[in-house]
Amino acid sequence: MKTLLQKLVRLRNPNFSLDDSLDTLALVQFFWIQGLTIIRGLFVVFYFKKAKGLMLGKAVTFFNPSKIHWGRFLRLGNYVAISALGKNGIWFGDNVSVGAFSRIIISTSLNNLGDSIIIGNNVGIGEFAYLGGAGGLEIGDDCIVGQYFSCHPENHNYKKNKILIRHQGVTRNGIMIGKNCWIGSKVTILDGVEIGDGCVIAAGSVVTKSFPENSIIGGVPSKLLKSRL
């Protein structure tokens, strides 16, 4: 049984191996839950989409599904909300996993639509993430991301004291995160930031400026701690 289940998982993750200490009851329960996510994923045919191995947790919601594009084996945890209200939609690569209670939202208003959110292949994002796409957000292949990750590719203008901040409009430059990055839990990345390939960002960091590839980053606001080279 373990051999069969391991082969099934390797369709999504070729490097996967079951731990030798895993007991049969836990294994059966785990794959029962995964089977339910696959069944839920089949219901996206009602959105005129091909499932491609989609795995859905409980109460996952989609808004503007015609602009959601997904690769093979996308996995969305319980209560994930996806809103592709924007100019260029949301693009998921292959083997993407998004943790429970996360929000992936391009725009929240109808008067100034945002751009897009692009998530590359083999990206894993922990629970309670908030990914905005107003100015455009791109996450490269093979990134691993902890819980409570947030990206905000938009800033409010505020310099005119006689005008309410909410009436001063916004600026949008976008956020780009390179390939093969490790981002710890509770990291926040603000508008205009570019993170190079192979970077590591320490838990709790607030990233307000760009960093080159292979940087180890930490702090509030974040700074270069050292290089991986």
Q: Is the dihedral of CA 41, 43, 44, 50 positive or negative?
A: positive
**Residue pLDDT, tens place only, 95-141:** 999 999 999 999 987 888 999 999 999 999 999 999 999 999 999 99
Find tokens 């947790």 and name the residue. Answer: 57
**Residue pLDDT, tens place only, 82-96:** 999 999 999 999 999
Q: Looking at residue 28, which CATH number applies to its domain?
A: 2.160.10.10
**Residue pLDDT, tens place only, 14-69:** 777 777 666 677 777 777 777 777 777 776 766 656 668 888 999 999 999 889 99
- 29 is a domain residue: yes
pLDDT at 75: 94
- 100 is a domain residue: yes
- 41 is a domain residue: yes
Instruction: Mention every residue, 6+ apart, whose C-beta is less than 8 A from residue 69.
Output: 89, 90, 91, 92
Range of the structural domain that residue 66 is part of: 24-227
Number of domains, the chain = 1
Tell me the whole-structure pTM to 2 decimals: 0.83
- 14 is a domain residue: no
CA distance linking residue 182 with residue 145, whole number of Å: 6
CA distance linking residue 104 with residue 131, whole number of Å: 5
CB burial string 102-129: b at 16+ within 10 A, e below: bbbbbbeeeeeebbbbbbbbbbebbbbb
Burial-class residue 134 by CB neighbours within 10 Å (0-12, 13-18, 19+).
Answer: buried
Active-site position among 69, 152, 156, 167: 156
pLDDT at 167: 92
- 16 is a domain residue: no
Which range has the worst mean pLDDT, 48-52, 101-105, 159-163, 184-188? 48-52
Active site residue 69: no
